[in-house]
Amino acid sequence: MRRAWTALLSLLLIISVAAACSTGSNGGSTAPETTEPSNTGAVKNAPAPGEGKDITLKMSIWGDDNRKRMFEEVVKEFTDAHPGINVEVMLIPYQEYPQKISIMAASKTAPDVIWLYDAIIPQIRDANLLMDLSELADDPEYDLNDVYASSMDIYRGKDSGLYGIPFSAGPKVLFYNKKLFAEKGLKTPNELVKEGNWTYEEFLKTAKALTDPSQGVYGVKIAGGSNWKDAYTDTFWSFGADIFNEDATEFLLNSPESAQVLQMFDDMMFKDFTNPKPGDQISFESGKIGMFRGNYSYSASARKAEGLEFDIAPMPKGPVADAPFYDGVSGYSVMKDTEYPAEALELLKFFTSKEGMAKFQATFPPPRKSVLESEAFANMNDQPSAEGIKLAMSEPMSAGGRVIPTPENWQQINTKIQNLLDILYTQSATVEEVLERMDQEVAPLLK
């Protein structure tokens, strides 16, 4: 009797485990499909009988849930206009983005339409994973000439194919706290730009005048972070220094000009105390930072900070007055081995068309001339002002920017340079010594 019970019990256990496993795997694979109809409003747009079955395009973004919702709303316009196509927006955290994309590419599960940023574009572009989009030049309605050519450079492969379309590009800007400037009775950066006096001397003077240790106020926040490339590249270029030569075969940072730049930032942190020390997490949103260098898209966060009055300005002019700005590009590509190339291309065109970019202009600086220079873009919000957008965004974009040439093992070089800059940030060596070490340790990494 007891034996029979044991047998029955173990049978039950095995069945239930097996059942759990199988429903588990089914559940996993069907989950996206069952959620899609609600996304796309399938009731309204049910495909006519005989039109073939629905397809699902996957498209990757980074960011947060708010951004995902924003994308899904825009995607809905696309799916409403294209019955039979569903679009799944995949949200991947920014920190994990490159890893996740490469793992998906390796396991052939990459999204059909893929959002990439400048630091990872060259590697994926040269791994022959992306579709050539050159034919878009022949589409008069799409008007590829409207897209700033300098922002497309990074998508040009060695075979001069075009492997993506920029969706968000433009200079990093200088946010400034209008209240702090008014309290000290200082001329704002934009006023100085119009006078033609927005130079690094003025910038340093302004930073000192804004700094007020008793209030915990710092004049500026640029130096000392964990992203030297975004923080320093513009200044290197305006002082006549450079990181690599054109084709990234030579390391050029060990120069008197870069020493001058690094010394300037070092003094801001450790001599004049106008810039928070490395390791400090104080943010511009706290209202305690006079000037802050950031992405244009940061203005969405700054607008949310209560009582913060800010505007944007271009970076000051250095000795090389016509230096290009450092263009931070991100954009869309189509995976070469997508099952639905035509539909994926259609989705890419939808997002990178004039209308598509205009839909996102509040968050992403549009790399299309017609959108960037439009009235709608300049007057979208109270902050930043139309004037700030003109001076910091539209005018530099028309002049053209430059992308840092990224060698194949850019990540190693990037980390190595950041690690060596830490020696400055811990005040363990002089600027010249650090640059000398960079020369010895970075140059061999360039193959």
Partner 1 sequence: MLGPNTGQPTIGGRRTSKGRRKLLNREEKWYGYAFVMPMLLGYFFFLFGPIVASFAMSFTNWNLLDELKFIGLDNYRNAFFGDPVLLDTLSNTLYFTILFVPLNIMLTLGLALLMQASIPGMGFFRTAAFAPVVTSIVVWAIIWKYIFQTDNGLINAVLKTFGVTGPAWLYSMELAIPVVVVVSLLKSLGINMAIFLAALKDVPMMYYEAARIDGASRWRAFWHVTLPLISPSMFLVTMITIIGSMKVFGQIYIMTGGGPGTSTYVMVYYIYEQAFKYYEFGYGTAIAFILFVIILLLTLVQWYGRKRWIHFEQ
CA-to-CA distance for 241 and 319, rounded, in angstroms?
Answer: 11
Q: CA 214, CA 99: separation in Å to the nearest integer?
A: 44
CB-nearer residue toward partner 1: 11 or 149:
11
- By CB atoms closer than 10 A (0-12, 13-18, 19+), residue 414 is middle
Cα within 13 Å of Cα(123), Cβ side: 15
Longest C-alpha distance within the chain, in Å? 99
* Distance separating the N- and C-terminal Cα atoms of the chain: 76
54-62, 290-298, 393-401, 405-413 -> range binding partner 1 (CB under 8 A): 405-413
**Between 41 and 93, whose beta carbon lies closer to partner 1?**
93
Query: In the numeric block, which tokens belong to residue 205?
Result: 């003077």
Minimum distance from residue 183 beta carbon to partner 1 (Å)? 20
Q: Is omega for the bond preceding 384 within 30 degrees of 0, making it cis? A: yes
31 binds partner 1 (CB under 8 A): no
Contact track, partner 1, 260-289, x by CB under 8 A:
----------------xxxxxxx-------
Shorter beta-carbon distance to partner 1: residue 363 or 430: 430
Between CA 269 and CA 276 the distance in angstroms is 6
d(CA 53, CA 47): 8
Among 422, 430, 436, 439, binds partner 1 (CB under 8 A): 422
Angle at 177 between CA 172 and CA 179, to 5 degrees: 165
Q: In what order do the strands lie in the sheet with 113-117?
A: 85-92, 55-62, 113-117, 330-334, 165-168
* 12 is an interface residue for partner 1 by CB under 8 A: no
Non-local (6+) Cβ contacts of 343 within 8 A are 55, 57, 82, 85, 112
- Determine contact, residues 179/309, Cβ cutoff 8 Å: yes
Does position 17 bind partner 1 by CB under 8 A?
A: yes
Instruction: Figure out which of the listed residues 197, 199, 297, 409 binds partner 1, where binding follows CB under 8 A.
Output: 409
From 28-36, 86-94, 119-127, 360-368, give the range in contact with partner 1 by CB under 8 A: 119-127
User: What is d(CA 114, CA 161) in angstroms, rounded to the nearest whole number?
Assistant: 17
70 versus 90: smaller Cβ distance to partner 1: 90
Q: Please identify, using beta-carbon distances, which residue of 163 and 425 lies nearer to partner 1.
A: 425
Q: Which of 362, 404, 423, 373 is closest to 150 using CA atoms?
A: 404
Closest to partner 1 by CB, 102 or 197? 102
# of chain residues touching partner 1 (CB under 8 A): 39
CB of 242 to partner 1, least distance (A): 24
Residue 44 binds partner 1, judged by CB under 8 A: no
Q: Per CB under 8 A, does 425 bind partner 1? A: yes
Judged by CB, which is closer to partner 1: 35, or 99? 99
Q: How far is the CB of 224 from partner 1 (least distance, A)?
A: 8
Cα distances from 143 to residues 23, 307, 326, 354, in angstroms, run: 49, 41, 25, 9
CB of 409 to partner 1, least distance (A): 7
**Residue whose structure tokens are 């700030």:** 388
For partner 1, the closer CB: 2 or 304: 2
Q: Is 25 in the site for partner 1 (CB under 8 A)?
A: no
Please state, as a whole number, how many other Cβ atoms lie within 10 Å of the Cβ of residue 117: 16
Asked if 386 touches partner 1 (CB under 8 A), the answer is no
Pick the closer one to partner 1 by CB: 78 or 97: 97
Binding window for partner 1 (CB under 8 A); candidates: 77-85, 191-199, 321-329, 410-418: 410-418
The four Cα atoms 162, 139, 76, 297 give a dihedral, to 10 degrees, of 50
* Choice between 363 and 411, CB closer to partner 1: 411
Distance CA 74, CA 362 (A): 13
Distance of alpha carbon 168 from alpha carbon 364, whole angstroms: 5
**Span interacting with partner 1, options 101-109, 160-168, 244-252, 393-401, rule CB under 8 A:** 101-109
Site for partner 1, residues 123 to 142, rule: CB under 8 A: 123-124, 127, 129
Is residue 336 near partner 1 by the rule CB under 8 A? no
Q: Which amino acid is present at 34? A: T
The two tokens of residue 356 are 């598509």
CB closer to partner 1 out of 5 and 53? 5
Residue of 41, 47, 93, 216 that binds partner 1 (CB under 8 A):
216
Q: Which residues bind partner 1 (CB under 8 A)?
A: 2-3, 6-7, 10, 13-14, 17, 98-99, 102-103, 105-106, 123-124, 127, 129, 216, 226, 276-282, 409, 411-412, 415, 418-420, 422-423, 425-426, 428
